[in-house]
Amino acid sequence: MAVLVDTRTVPPRERFACWHEAASKIFFPLRIALRPDRSPAEPFFGRVLGHHLGPIQAFRITGDPNTCLRTPSTIRQGDPEELQLYLVRRGVCRVGQADRASELVPGDLTTHDTSRPFTIDVVCDRADGPFELIVFNFPKYLLGPHADHIGARTALRIPGGTGLAAHVGPFLAGLLDGLDEGTVAESDALADSMVGLLRSLFDTGRPAAPGDPAALLRHRIHAYIEEHLADPALGPERIANAHFISVRYLHKLFRAEGITVSRFVQQRRLERCRRDLADPALAGCTIESICSSWGMTNPDHFSRVFRATYGCPPREWRARAVRARSDAVHAGEGPGGRARGR
């Protein structure tokens, strides 16, 4: 069990600022707002426990009522390209994305797409204690052709008391309980099962393309690449050997996606580097150390491909991210409009 943030570890007046800052670091850039009936001076409680199931992240989030906003500006600051699956354990959760909005009660499930604006408004009766959400973050590449199908149905309530959801909800809750207690081990092997559960919740009864062995193999290869991006030696031959296939067949699998193996690896490394360059916690790291940490050991080559991909050199991208954070703080989007702990 990893405690990613617990606001009780900081002075009471700094707790909401701590929560706001931590949320964007743990998940992706977000705006967090207090509900109107709460004062920023009140001690705020928020806690996140986290686990990794291969490329899938699992979280237990508990805390006081608040509103979470994924805005166009925060999407521009960074997007992990994930679909999130939520299970409400305690409290009432109002969600919205695109033209869809739903209100969820304990046992209900829903999804969100990190690449589009959304809102989460969590309400709970103070007499009942903090809210509790279980969240699974699925990289979209794991879902293959199902990602668009699920993404078009985000923010819709999946009632927890009927159909498949009546079984999936308790399973997810039990899985998180086991991970927190240490009776279930974090395992890459669980990733395929989790992807299957998410797809099944949105199954329309048509044959599922990822049931095809080649599609399933591509999903496993994508997950393997994500887990080994930091290895400079990661390349087609190593990837093929790890999956007991020929390099020629590996290239054939990726041709079906319209990209080469090497280009896919490069794109994923560039995205990780771009994210880290915008992370204030890594402001003291050199650009060379960041690109090397993601397997790109030639700084000059990294700079060229970064510029070709994002339209500016890495140094300029980092400077823009710093300015964007500064502008957000002055506009009131930052954590309490001040640096935490000062």
Which CATH number fits the domain that encloses residue 279?
A: 1.10.10.60
User: Tens digits of per-residue pLDDT, 155-203?
Assistant: 999 999 888 899 999 999 999 999 988 888 887 778 888 988 898 888 7
> What number is the average pLDDT over the span 252-262?
87
C-alpha to C-alpha distance for 119 and 250, rounded to whole angstroms: 40
**Residue 58 one-letter amino acid:** A
Q: Which residues contact 298 (CB under 8 A, 6 or more apart)?
A: none
For the sheet containing 66-70, what is the strand order?
Answer: 31-34, 66-70, 118-123, 92-97, 100-104
Both 171 and 318 in one domain: the answer is no
Both 178 and 224 in one domain: the answer is no
User: Tens digits of per-residue pLDDT, 124-134?
Assistant: 755 567 899 99
C-alpha to C-alpha distance for 15 and 13, rounded to whole angstroms: 6
Cα–chain center distance at 203: 23
Angular region, 274: left φ>0, alpha ψ -120 to 50, beta rest? alpha
37 vs 92, which has greater pLDDT? 92
Q: Whole domain around residue 258: which residue ranges?
A: 213-324
Which CATH number fits the domain that encloses residue 65?
A: 2.60.120.10
- Are residues 82 and 151 in contact, defined by beta-carbon separation less than 8 angstroms? no
Both 88 and 199 in one domain: the answer is yes
Domain annotation covers residue 331: no
Question: Looking at 175, 190, 207, which one is the last position of a domain?
Answer: 207
C-alpha to C-alpha distance for 267 and 248, rounded to whole angstroms: 21
Q: Which residues of 313-322 are buried (b: 16+ CB within 10 A; e: fewer)?
A: ebeebbeebe
Q: Domain tally for the chain?
A: 2
Cα–chain center distance at 72: 16
Residue 284 burial class via C-beta count within 10 angstroms: exposed 0-12, middle 13-18, buried 19 and up = exposed
User: Which span out of 20-24, 109-113, 178-182 was modeled with the highest average pLDDT?
Assistant: 109-113
